[in-house]
Structure 1
């Protein structure tokens, strides 16, 4: 296990964030649908000022788990 020195800054994992408009385009839904998913807790997001940013991985995970067998 690596020991971190006191003066070394902690490195955060790289997370790619998307805007609500980018999520809507990626999912092919309206921005209002994305806001509903965020406010309903189905899609995690962080608030930056007055807008939301959604982790790209969260969008892909949501879509992966949204598949269902219609047959």
Structure 2
């Protein structure tokens, strides 16, 4: 008998999880939140970042081109 494990995709990330997903430092994510570059929701003392916010942030990042 096999048991299927169902993984649930998170809708909200902790700043630490967001840092890992973005491949940035935790302090950088907190700075982005403080500067308003990354919007977050606050529930009690906890701050969470929406997945859609992370995707929008990455989509809006400027790309660097190298000139030859």
Give the TM-score normalised by the residue count of structure 1: 0.71
**Structure 1 gap segments, 5+ residues each:** 1-14
For the pair 1:66 / 2:56, whether they are aligned, the reply is no
Give the TM-score normalised by the residue count of structure 2: 0.73
Q: Which portions of structure 1, spanning 4 or more consecutive aligned residues, are displaced by more than 6 angstroms?
A: none
Aligned to 1:48: 43
Alpha-carbon distance, 1:51 to partner: 2.5
- Which is greater in Rg? 1
2:32 to 28, 37, 45: 37
